[in-house]
Amino acid sequence: MKDLIQGYKKFRELVFPKKRKLFRKLADGQKPKYLFITCCDSRVVPNEFTQTDAGFMFVERSIGNLVPYPSAGENEAVAAVEYAVKALGVTSIIICGHTECGAMKAILDPDSLEDMPIVRAWLRNAEETRRVVAEKHGDKTGDALLEAAIRENVRVQVANAKRIPCVAELAKEGRLEIHGWVFDFARGEVEVLDETSDAVVALENYRTGDDHEMNA
């Protein structure tokens, strides 16, 4: 705990005084613009690579950044989506995968989860990802196959999110956008994916509805 305590002291002494007004505002409630769905992986720190403050994003984490459809019997992620959309009024949902994802390695090698039955059960919610990868990328191996699985999984989860009734309704009305990202640790880069094609674009070149321009 020593490192956490030292970090807290640094926050109290150096960070909090500079952001006192922000935290006073946050004490009155939250009004995030974005719902950010990402993996539990400790290396994924959305506020760091988007350089945003507390209160800017409502964050949902799960192993493999999965959004199981409600009929799968796993409702936690969907509950977070519903709350963010209906109670908080977010205008964008971002589902963000990442390079070297352990969950995607596991769905490609289920035997690696022999000693983790609960994790294995959770990752059954990625069965559609496994099917798509086998169908579209059966010729790939190694790193190329893992990269394909990471991307396809994001596309599958974006599609799942779009099937949630409150999301589908607002997206149809043009009041909610859903985007798929992949964060690359080694390069410090984010790419944006199209869930219906293999199109990929660097985030800095991406155009959204906020720009009144064509999506990538």
Do residue 22 and residue 43 come from a single domain?
Answer: no
| Nearest one of 64, 76, 1, 6 to 38, comparing CA atoms | 64
Contact 39, 26 (CB under 8 A): no
Structural domain includes residue 120: yes
- Pairing verdict, β 177-184 and 189-193: antiparallel
Length of the chain as a residue count = 216
Do residue 13 and residue 90 come from a single domain?
Answer: no
Structural domain includes residue 209: no
Do residue 11 and residue 103 come from a single domain?
Answer: no
| Model confidence pLDDT, tens digit, residues 147-162 | 999 999 999 999 999 9
Do residue 172 and residue 184 come from a single domain?
Answer: yes
Domain, as residue range, for 117: 31-203
What confidence tier does 210 reach under pLDDT thresholds 50, 70, 90?
A: low
Do residue 24 and residue 125 come from a single domain?
Answer: no
Structural domain includes residue 210: no
In 164-213, which residue ranges form alpha helices assigned H by DSSP?
Answer: 165-172
Burial of 88 (0-12, 13-18, 19+ CB in 10 A): middle
- Return the higher-pLDDT residue of 73 and 113: 113
| Model confidence pLDDT, tens digit, residues 15-49 | 999 999 999 999 999 999 999 999 999 999 999 99
Structural domain includes residue 215: no
What is the three-class DSSP state of 129? helix
Structural domain includes residue 66: yes
pLDDT of 214 higher than 70: no
Q: How many domains does the chain have?
A: 2
Do residue 2 and residue 39 come from a single domain?
Answer: no
